[in-house]
Amino acid sequence: MSDLADLFPGFANHWIDTRAGRIFARSGGAGPPLLLLHGFPQTHVMWHRLAPELAKKFSVTAMDMRGYGWSSAPASDGGGLYAKRAMGADAVDVMEELGHARFRICAHDRGARAAYRLALDHPGRVEKLSLLDILPTVEVWKNIRAGVTPASHWTFLSQAAPIPEKEIGKDPDAYFRPLMAKWEKDPGKPVFDPRALAHYAAAWGDPSRIHAMCEDYRAGATLDLAADEQDLAAGRQILCPLQILTGSSFMTRAPGELPVEVWQRCFAPQAQGAMIDSGHFLAEENAPATLEALLGFL
């Protein structure tokens, strides 16, 4: 930890005990509470370009989800401990410990999946929700199986243990760095602060976190998919105001529909959307436009 750069100067550190073990979080600013959740294969550090600006108007909390960054990585089997329902419950525990019963959420990628599950499971907790560059899990798997969306890492990581763990473990940098480059709008253009990349690499080089990330995707293929299907069948909806921000990544492609239209059809008729001139990593590829969109909504 001490060997990595502090990209959140002035923010407090927290180690919070939850059912997943210890969750690491950073907090700063003043105003309405705002939770930031990161994506794969990153950590809370992905918000380093936005958190200081958001902290001028909000009480910002950026946490590492279970299995990522500096949070505990409980051993699991078949995705059992990495369902987004459990990750969402971790977020509730963290925010309650910091004194926030209700809060806004801005979340990217896997964190966004935990966030919309939290909003469905605990509707009274979330005041506003901004999701960065995802479609509902049930829609992603539908598109993969229809051949509309490349299977890519979704099917590879969700294979039974230890197949992907062993393959990635041979050279984690050689797996994760080219994968991230595929999702950038301009792969030849520097996107990430080298200090942030050092944080990500420190985490993804840990075998326990490689296993946790695979378990995250195994849960996505089973428990998370089942939860989405059950809620769709029951007609459950996200009740709070919802913003969908998307870049130009393949993960939000839907045949004949804009990403926001998919959300309006599935879980959130009230959803509003905006496109950001970016690849998948909106908060790092185009922080100014992402910040402007977030502030206009939050």
- Residue-by-residue DSSP string for 135-180: --HHHHHHHHHTTSS--HHHHHHTSSTTHHHHHHHT-HHHHHHHHH
Q: In what order do the strands lie in the sheet with 126-132?
A: 12-18, 21-29, 59-63, 33-37, 103-108, 126-132, 242-246, 272-275
Find, among 97, 179, 120, 130, the residue nearest to 298 by Cα: 130
Does 211 participate in catalysis according to the annotation? no
Does 109 participate in catalysis according to the annotation? yes
Taking only Cα atoms into account, the Rg of the chain, rounded to an integer number of angstroms, comes to 17
Q: What is the pLDDT of residue 187?
A: 79
Mean pLDDT by 10 residues, the chain (298 residues): 88 95 98 98 98 98 98 97 98 98 98 98 97 97 89 93 98 97 88 97 98 98 98 98 90 84 97 96 98 98
Superfamily of domain 12-297: Alpha/Beta hydrolase fold, catalytic domain (3.40.50.1820)
Catalytic site residue from 109, 133, 216, 224: 109
Q: What is the pLDDT of residue 188?
A: 77
Q: CA–CA separation, 56 vs 38, rounded Å?
A: 20
Q: What is the pLDDT of residue 250?
A: 66
